Amino acid sequence: SCSSLAGIMLLEVFLVLGAVIIYFLFSKKKEETLPFKEGWWGKGEKPDTEEDTTIRPFKVETTEEELSDLFRRLDQARFTEPLENSCFHYGTNLVYLRKVVSYWKNQFNWKKQVEVLNKYPQFKTKIQGIDIHFVHVKPPRLPEGQSAKPLLMVHGWPGSFYEFYKIIPLLTDPASHGLSDEHVFEVICPSIPGYGFSEAPHKKDFNSVSAASVFYELMLRLGFNEFYAQGGDWGWLICTNLAQIAPNHMKGLHLNLASVTNMGFTHLLSILLGRYLPGLFGFQDEDVRRMFPFLKKGLYRILLESGYAHIQATKPDTVGCGLNDSPVGLAAYILEKFSTWTDLEFHNLEDGGLERKFNLDDLLTNIMIYWVSGCIVSSMRFYKENLQKGIGKQKHERLTVQVPTGIASFPNELVHTPQAWAQKKYTNIVSFHFMPRGGHFAALEEPELLAEDILQFVGKVEKEQLWRKK
Amino acid sequence: QTILCLPRSFEYSQKNAVLVPAAALGVGGMMVFWLRSRHKIKTIEMGDGWWGSGERPLKGKEDESIRPFKIETSDKEIEDLHRRLEQARYTPPLEGAAFHYGFNSNYLRKVVAYWRNQFDWRKQVEVLNKYPHFRTTIEGIDIHFIHVKPSYVPHGRAVQPLLMVHGWPGSFYEFYKIIPLLTEPAGHGLNEGDVVFEVICPSIPGYGFSEAPHQKGFDTIATARIFHKLMNRLGFKQYYVQGGDWGSRITTNMAQMLPQSVKGLHVNFVFINKQGLRRMISVMLGAYVPWLVGLIREDVRRTYPFMQKNIYDLLRESGYLHIQATKPDTAGCGLNDSPVGLAAYILEKFSTWTDKSFLHQDDGGLESKYSLDELLTNVMIYWVTSSIVSSMRFYKENFSKVPDLAVHDRVGVYVPTGIAAFPQEIVHTPRVWAKQNFKNIITYTYMPRGGHFAAFEEPKLLAQDIMHFVRKVEQL
């Protein structure tokens, strides 16, 4: 009777185990995808006629009128004196700003920069009722037997497609830049609707899923059935959503920012105890170094640096109004981010350390894109559309990503996300590297480092044909 | 000593062995209580400060003269303004947005058209100059104020000095409608017994015609001290103080600093105390980043069923506070260069903080409570003085120590206090919460209507409450 009892117990255990295994097997198949978001963002009612799907070449242009209007505003700019010894602690230092404005007036050559912008082919096409602008660069030469791999690169705020101008040649023509040409890309950099030369949505509710859907249509319209995607800042979220909408089309997802917004009890626990028991939570030494002390490097830092997100997520039309009318105000607002998000220590410098990692021509070209397109307000509305319900509350934030993912983790990014957290969302992380230097604007600041990481990631994905395994 | 005697008196009865230590404890306890209560009324230290540029001069006494001041304008100033208004660049609002995304630019165009074509700044300057203005140097900076005395004082009536302090994005101009009600109540249908005031309205340093501090660290305590020095310089030893918004905190600090000088404190807005702030922060965080305070959220949800909604409102309305408390120079830069941007930023507050339902209106309901002339005059004060950036810095100087609002909240307010609670105020502070800080509330009134800019919007209601409060204090 003892052995039969034991036998029954053993049977029960096996049954339970079996049920659990079956449950997991089946639950894996029930992976939810993010539905494609239909929309129509044009003015007024959607017309009955079919949408024009032509792809029209586009060139950035400027006029004398535009330039003289800009100069007049720069000349009449009213500045305020900064407090003594305040460096960049109160925001952009207004004495340094005067120097930038002086350069802008006297040395910066917008006509020349427009030619720089036009060196890559640009196009516009109407999707879901609005004109989408994008840059499309094909490789100048292809090695024998190779085809160019399509790579979608998405910018963020306060950036633009221009951020990619230094990294594009490293990806379309790696051999000429000392990189391996095992993989060569054709790069597509669109402007998010409401940014730069993409038309702004006229209707409410255009969020990251809408942008991902629009870019998905774009890639299909360009004839790409399979592609890679890369992004940071909003580009991170849009490409993530794209991976959730169209996992069968995306071969790989590369990110230089990988925030995790849907956090739970385990995250809280790892914040409290991770410093003392890193191994328990999967933290590496570098993770601990970057994340702790958590109050200082996490919570307080977020509070100190997120004022702009708070006001843009609630009153974008108010805060953007003056910035669309004062180029100096616009420059102060945008340059502050290029300083602080490149290295927090730049707070302590009178000139915000801006010219250590960037040159003024690049910074001002980016600002000019916001100025001449008048898009600052619509760019800010994107915050409200994405954040108004809070963080961690939207459907897509609870869904995971199965597409092979590569993450380049830059040391000066505002907040560090350890791999242990990222892999809860990105279930198929193929590469995760701690980059030796660089901050938020990785493509502009450290194009070689980023390009190398993208190339090695794609190499891994292609070699193991990982994208076929889904 | 009594206790030490015990071992020697082991032959005493057990009753004594109990009574004696009990008595010792009782006496000891009473002594402790008495010692503590003697120090109960703590005050904020006055300290000192220097806000001028460069080093404080070692020699020489500060110039204490009070100089008459008149606001002036010029053709050049007006032409420059007009040019900027004409060249304004707008972004069309989203369809159906009303005021939900901020100031609606379609309505803004109308405001700017009025500003350019009908608003008469020269006439408004005359309006501003109808009350006597002065300037005097305190702690290295020029302090601007208006000082209005009653033109006629009935026999036997005492004139009470009343200091009224504005806030952001307001100015001394907010008090222009209420001043006559306080200096000449009888002439305005207010028969409030024997209370008549002479009113002093200063501009907070960094606002309007008061010079902006050149040094870091200028907070409400420094302001309170400077305003005490001002009243002292004007010859007043005891006075009433009144304020809303920053004015509320400054006048409260004044009462905490020199209670013997403040006869009574009247506020139409109550700053949340430390405990409430901590609670509120965790509740706010819980609504938006639930994983961080998941544990606390459930309690809150059960205890305060309507708080979720209120917290959402508060978060929706506090973006300006967040950016001004962290990056004032960035936030204010464009606003000092674009009058249209400045108007949108400031007038948005006059809309939403007057009535939350104005969010749903295409014109933000602004002209239902105010005239464009009044609103634009206030905006012009920020424009012609270029004070928007320094006005924003005040937020950083005061909120940098947010997690531990040490000083103000450990020191209670013991002077007679009157609170006017307006229904559309951004945050409502119930009397029970206010009592934690204000130990001597004489009047607490639920006002029938009105919002944040009480003096501007409902001057008569506010004047009546101030008088009602002062009468009670005078009777004490």
Q: What is the pLDDT of residues B196-236, one digit of tens each?
A: 999 999 999 999 999 999 999 999 999 999 999 999 999 99
If asked whether residues B138 and B269 sit together in one domain, one would say yes
- Residue B179 included in any domain: yes
The pLDDT mean for chain A works out to 91
What percentage of chain B has pLDDT greater than the value 90? 67
Q: Which one of the listed residues B370, B395, B414, B444 is annotated catalytic?
A: B395
Which is higher by pLDDT, B110 or B437? B110
Cα–Cα distance, A287 to A296 (Å, whole number): 15
Instruction: Using the predicted structure, report yes or no on whether residue B4 has a pLDDT greater than 50.
Output: no
Residue A292 confidence (pLDDT) above 60: yes
Q: Tell me whether residue B373 is in a domain.
A: yes
User: Is the pLDDT assigned to residue B104 strictly greater than 60?
Assistant: yes
Contact between B193 and B213 under an 8 Å Cβ cutoff? The reply is no
Report residue A258: phi and psi, to 5°: -140, 70
pLDDT of residue A181: 87
* B118 domain-assigned: yes
- Establish if B6 belongs to a structural domain: no
The CA angle B313-B315-B317, to the nearest 5 degrees, is 70
Whether A444 and A166 have beta carbons less than 8 Å apart is answered as yes
Q: What is the DSSP letter of B415?
A: S
Contact B341 A322 (CB under 8 A): yes
Cα-only R_g, chain A = 24
Contacts with B104 from chain A: Cβ below 8 Å? 317
Cβ-defined contact of B334 to A317 (cutoff 8 Å)? no
Q: Which residues of chain B neighbour A325 with C-beta distances below 8 Å?
A: 84, 87-89, 334, 337-338, 340-341
Q: Which structural domain, as residue segments, surrounds residue A154?
A: 62-262+293-469
Residue of higher predicted confidence among B429 and B295 = B429
Q: Are residues B309 and B188 part of one domain? A: no
**Which among B214, B319, B389 has the least Cβ separation from residue A84?**
B214
Where on the phi/psi map is residue A180: left (φ > 0), alpha (ψ -120 to 50), or beta? Answer: beta
The pLDDT of residue A349 is: 95
Alpha helix stretches (DSSP H) within B274-353? 274-288, 294-303, 307-317, 319-324, 328-333, 339-352
More confident residue, B299 or A248: A248
Domain containing A182 — which CATH number?
3.40.50.1820
Which letter, b or e, does each residue of A197-214 get, where b requires 16 or more Cβ atoms within 10 Å of its Cβ?
bbbbbbbbebbbbbbbbb
The larger pLDDT score, comparing residue A33 to residue A129, is at A129
Q: Is B39 an active-site residue? A: no
Pick the range with the lowest mean pLDDT from A244-248, A304-308, B306-310, B323-327: B306-310
- Exposed/middle/buried for B471, CB within 10 Å: 0-12, 13-18, 19+? middle
Nearest CA in chain B to A377: B91
pLDDT of residue B33: 63
Residue A241 is inside which H or E element, if any? helix A234-245
Q: Does the interface ipTM go beyond 0.85?
A: yes
Distance, CA of B393 to CA of A84 (rounded, Å): 13
Chain B interface mutation, best of A259, A325, A376, highest count of B Cβ atoms under 10 Å: A325
**C-beta atoms of B102 and A86 within 8 A:** no
Taking residues A80-87, report their average pLDDT: 92
The tally of CA atoms less than 13 A away on the side-chain side of residue A192 is 35
Active site (annotated) includes residue B219: no
Mean pLDDT of A104-121: 97
List the single residue in B with minimal CA-CA distance to A374: B91
Is A11 contained in some domain?
no
Max mean pLDDT among B33-37, B186-190, B227-231 falls in: B227-231
Does residue A51 belong to any structural domain of this protein? Answer: no
The rounded distance, in Å, linking the Cα atoms of A114 and A92 is 26
Gyration radius (Cα) of chain B, Å: 26
Could you list the active site residues of A?
233, 383, 440
Contact B102 A318 (CB under 8 A): yes
Under an 8 A CB cutoff, do A326 and B338 touch? yes
| CA diameter of chain B | 102
Chain B CB contacts of A311 under 8 Å are 319-320, 322-323, 331
**Cis peptide preceding B180, ω within 30 of 0:** no
Are the Cβ atoms of A80 and B386 closer than 8 angstroms?
Answer: yes
Q: Is B245 left (phi over 0), alpha (psi -120 to 50) or beta?
A: left
Are residues A328 and B334 in contact, defined by beta-carbon separation less than 8 angstroms? yes
Final residue before a domain boundary, out of B363, B379, B405: B405
Over residues B150-172, the mean pLDDT reads 91
What is the tally of structural domains in chain A? 1
Of the three residues B405, B438, B459, the one that is the final residue of a domain is B405
Which of A436 and B309 is assigned the larger pLDDT? Answer: A436
| Helices (H) then strands (E): counts for chain A | 21, 9
Q: Using DSSP, state whether B144 is helix, strand or coil.
A: strand
> Encoding tokens for residue B250?
């400054």
Which two structure tokens, joined as six digits, stand for A450? 């980023």
Smallest CA–CA distance from B344 into chain A, residue = A318
Question: Do B75 and B159 belong together in one domain?
Answer: no
Same-domain pairing of B119 and B146? no
- Are B344 and A322 within 8 A, CB to CB? yes
Q: Do B289 and A76 touch (CB under 8 A)?
A: no
pLDDT (mean) for B68-80: 97
Pairing of strands A149-154, A227-231: parallel
Q: What is the pLDDT of residues B15-31, one digit of tens each?
A: 666 676 766 676 766 77
Same domain, B355 and B444: no
DSSP 3-state of A239: helix
pLDDT at B42: 80
pLDDT band at B8 (very low <50, low <70, confident <90, very high): very low
Residue B286 domain flag? no
What is residue B36's predicted lDDT score, i.e. its pLDDT? 59
Q: What domain count does chain B have?
A: 2
What pLDDT is attached to residue A221?
97
Q: Which of A286-300, B83-97, B236-250, B293-307 has the lowest mean pLDDT?
A: B293-307
A267 chain-B contacts, CB cut-off 8 A: 291
B320 and B401 share one domain: yes
> Average pLDDT in the A238-265 region?
90
Give the domain-ending residue among B405, B423, B456.
Answer: B405
- Asked whether residue A27 carries a pLDDT value surpassing 50, the answer given is no
Q: Enter the tokens of residue A310.
A: 């708070």
pLDDT for res A10: 81
pLDDT at B329 over 50: yes
B268 in the same domain as B137: yes
Predicted confidence band of residue B352 (pLDDT cuts 50, 70, 90): very high
Considering the domain boundaries, does residue A52 fall inside one?
Answer: no
Q: Is A331 a residue whose pLDDT tops 70?
A: yes
The Cβ of residue B234 has, within 10 Å, a number of other Cβ atoms equal to 17
**Residue B146 belongs to domain with CATH number:** 3.40.50.1820
Whether B448 maps to a domain, the answer reads yes
> How far apart are alpha carbons A311 and A380 in whole angstroms?
9
The interaxial angle of helices A360-373 and A94-106, nearest 10 deg, is 80
* Domain presence at residue A429: yes
In which band, very low, low, confident or very high, does the pLDDT at B9 lie, cut at 50, 70 and 90? very low
What letter represents residue A223's amino acid?
G
Question: How far apart are the C-alpha atoms of B457 and B178, rounded to whole Å?
Answer: 10
Tell me the nearest-neighbour CA distance from A449 into chain B, angstroms.
Answer: 31
Catalytic residue among B144, B266, B452, B468: B452
Whether residue A45 lies inside any domain: the answer is no
How many angstroms separate the first and last alpha carbons of chain B?
A: 46
Closest Cβ opposite residue A325 in set B329, B338, B396: B338
Structural domain that includes position B212: 133-273+408-475
The answer as to whether B291 is a domain residue is no
Taking contacts as CB-CB distances below 8 angstroms, the residues of chain A near B289 are 390-392
* Position B179 confidence tier, pLDDT thresholds 50, 70, 90: very high
**Residue A331 C-alpha, separation from nearest chain B C-alpha, in angstroms:** 9
d(CA B450, CA B424): 6
Residue B47 lies in a domain: no
SS3 A401: strand
**Cα–Cα distances in angstroms (integers) from residue B239 to residues B153, B154, B160, B163, B445, in the given order:** 18, 20, 7, 7, 22
Instruction: Give a yes or no: residue A286 inside a domain.
Output: no
Residue A102 located in a structural domain: yes
Of A212-221, A330-339, A417-426, B149-158, which gets the smallest average pLDDT? B149-158
Q: In chain A, what residues touch B397 (CB-CB under 8 Å)?
A: none
Longest dimension (CA), chain A: 100
Task: Give the alpha-carbon dihedral of A175, A180, A185, A189, to 10 degrees.
Answer: -80
Closest CA to A81 of B72, B342, B333: B333
Å between A464 CA and nearest CA of chain B: 37
Residue A338's Cβ-count burial label (10 Å; 0-12, 13-18, 19+) is: buried
Token duo for residue B374 = 């009044």
From B166, B219, B245, B468, active-site residue: B245
